[in-house]
Amino acid sequence: FICGATARMPVHSLIFINPAGSVIYSKYFQDTATSDYRLFFEQQLFKQTSPTWNRVSSVPSTVSIADVHVVYQTIGDMIVFASGTDDVDESILIEVLATIEKVLLDVLDQKSISEAQFLIPDNYGKFVISVDDMMSQGIIETFDAGLIGKLSKLKPL
């Protein structure tokens, strides 16, 4: 378990987009993230990062939007953005993305990750549960993908 994030310093959001730039998964961990705020944040995020989408790789890239740190990279054929505030900095977010990739490989039961496999309802549901087990309310509980998988398998879809 990790104490890298506290109640005052949570993960801000986790956003997946497909190659066309459509959001296929988003989770905001702060209760104050209204739909207007989410739209504004995503517009700013996409404005700053979309010029690089065709060059994004599995090597993390970083950007800041106001006081929010963002790390993004490809995972399979998707671009995944992890963002945090305060002490949840780029190094922690890189670890979040690495764990997300391991969790996806476990959930999809595949050697590779694809949007099509991710969007299968059972896989999507298992992933949503896994994210909650990994970082409940944005507070990072663990980076152990094996533990996340075990915890997630105990819960019905």
Looking at domain 11-153, its CATH class is alpha beta
Q: Which residue has the tokens 């987009």?
A: 17
Residue 56 has pLDDT above 50, yes or no: yes
d(CA 93, CA 14): 10
Residue 81 three-state SS: strand
* SS3 label, residue 153: helix
pLDDT tens column, 88-135: 889 999 999 999 999 999 998 878 899 999 999 999 999 999 999 999
Q: Is 12 in contact with 78 (CB distance < 8 Å)?
A: no
Residue spans per domain, the chain:
11-153
